[in-house]
Amino acid sequence: MDVIQIEGGYPITGEVQVEGAKNSALKLMAATLMAPGVNKLTNVPNISDVHTMGKVIECLGAKVEVLGPHDLRIDTTGVDSWVTPYQLVAKMRASTAVLGPLLARFGKAVVAMPGGCNIGARKIDMHMLGLEALGVEFKVDHGNIYASAPHGLQGTTVTLEFPSVGATENLLMASVHARGTTVIDNAAREPEIVDLANMLNEMGAKITGAGTPLVEIEGVGDLHPVTHEVVGDRIEAGTFIAMGGLVGEPVRVTGFDPQHLGLVLRKYELMGLTIEREERGCSVWRTGPIRPTDIQTLPYPGFPTDMQAQTMTLLANAEGDSIITENVFENRFMLAAELNRMGADIRIEGHHAIVHGVEGFSGAPVTSPDLRGGAALVMAGLVADGYTTVSGVHHIDRGYEGFVEKLQALGARVRRTTVPDED
């Protein structure tokens, strides 16, 4: 199996450029299904989740061609199937993003129940309830969701119980071809939602209000293919910012909009990190101790659950006690047990993590519990005494391109290698 080995105690400093956002690219790839023809996506991250989504849409009849390291040509002219393969969809929850586009194009879809990281329930009840309001009928059988709109899609007002990103995206895409006007109330506001709406508008949709709690979609006819650049990945950026803050030496992170990390950067400043913002990035360093700070994850523009693990690693080295409250995914504290193996002092009480800061970590063999937790363990290894070996690297591959190479370029003593599987 592949592992990442880190020798701790060496400074990292320099500049790193982040890729396009995983959480945007996957949904934009799904959206190309709505416009028969040749679409081009640029700034696409070269990660395993993108490869999986490429296979999903190819199984539906699309042709995906890699034009360069970060450019995809997607020809959806030949898409003639609305049935997605279980073995691919089960790998990644984002695969359910094809539900809205297939309903818009064919009026029906068959999608497997979602997979992905084991960080909590994968209920898609809100997707289904919202789409039912548009006239979609559902049947769940043997792990598959069968969806159809026998009388077509009809615009209406849909109020989401929770600002779900996935539900908002599926409703956005399905509503584009609905008769009349659809209003999504309590919509998710993430920058990736705005990126999707921008691309759909470029394709000929009429969407207003993306990035606010109230999004309005006026139904239109056919869409046309476009060329679109994926927004920068704020979570990858936040990961390297957290690493720079933990190690302390100046690290400059480029390729993203720092406004997309507004609350994260403000919290990090409260922790004692110095952050210098630019138009397309920021620099981070630290000269004093890490200060304890309480965090609670919430939908955007709140503190993102995808930055919770990296922040837990920072706070585990703070001078004092912090409380992290996880409000989005119930199983997202699995990292704590692995950090405790490295000498952290973290106690879990329900959806709260009580983090008692320690003076440092000790290198140890640890296992990635999920995508962000894996990155956080590598981050801990950078400042640990001795060697840390992180297994479960496939989780990290799902969301970070060239992760080890980027750390090496910053001066980290880190390498990826293969060791015999314990089984």
The average pLDDT across 131-160 equals 94
Q: In which band, very low, low, confident or very high, does the pLDDT at 3 lie, cut at 50, 70 and 90? A: very high
Q: Give me the DSSP letters along 69-105.
A: TTEEEEE-TT----B--HHHHTT-GGGGGGHHHHHHH
Contact present, 124 and 136 (Cβ < 8 Å): no
For the cut 80, the answer to whether the pLDDT of residue 363 exceeds it is yes
**3-state helix, strand and coil shares in percent for the chain, rounded to the nearest 5:** 35, 25, 40
For the cut 50, the answer to whether the pLDDT of residue 270 exceeds it is yes
Cα distance between residue 292 and residue 312, in whole Å: 10
For the cut 80, the answer to whether the pLDDT of residue 259 exceeds it is yes
pLDDT tens figures, 390-409: 999 999 999 999 999 999 99
pLDDT tens figures, 277-327: 999 999 999 999 999 999 999 999 999 999 999 999 999 999 999 999 999
* High-pLDDT (> 90) share of the chain, %: 88
Task: Tell whether 139 is in a known binding site.
Answer: no
Any long-range contacts for 358-361 (C-beta under 8 Å, 24+ apart)?
A: 358/316, 358/317, 359/317, 360/317, 360/384, 360/385, 361/8, 361/316, 361/317, 361/385, 361/388
* pLDDT of amino acid 331: 74
The average pLDDT across 146-161 equals 96
Closest CA to 414 of 375, 373, 367: 375
Task: Tell whether 22 is in a known binding site.
Answer: yes
Q: Which residue has the tokens 């094809």?
A: 98
* pLDDT of amino acid 121: 46
**What end-to-end distance do the CA atoms of the chain give, in Å?**
10
For the cut 50, the answer to whether the pLDDT of residue 94 exceeds it is yes
* pLDDT of amino acid 421: 78
CA distances from 197 to 143, 190, 221, 223, 230 (A): 30, 11, 16, 13, 12
For the cut 60, the answer to whether the pLDDT of residue 118 exceeds it is no
Residue type, 374: G
Cα distance between residue 219 and residue 417, in whole Å: 52
pLDDT tens figures, 6-44: 999 999 999 999 999 999 999 999 999 999 999 999 999
* pLDDT of amino acid 122: 45
* pLDDT of amino acid 95: 75
The average pLDDT across 113-140 equals 76
125: its two tokens: 């009840």
* pLDDT of amino acid 158: 97
Contacts of 276 (CB under 8 A, 6+ apart): 282, 283, 284
Q: Which residue has the tokens 């395993």?
A: 48
Q: What is the mean pLDDT of the chain?
A: 94
Cα distance between residue 54 and residue 48, in whole Å: 10
- Which residue among 117, 158, 241, 353 is the active-site one? 117
The better pLDDT of the pair 91, 194 is held by 194
pLDDT tens figures, 40-88: 999 999 999 999 999 999 999 999 999 989 999 999 999 999 998 888 8
For the cut 80, the answer to whether the pLDDT of residue 120 exceeds it is no
Closest CA to 333 of 323, 343, 342: 323
* pLDDT of amino acid 112: 82
pLDDT tens figures, 215-257: 999 999 999 999 999 999 999 999 999 999 999 999 999 999 9
* Residue 117 annotated to the active site: yes
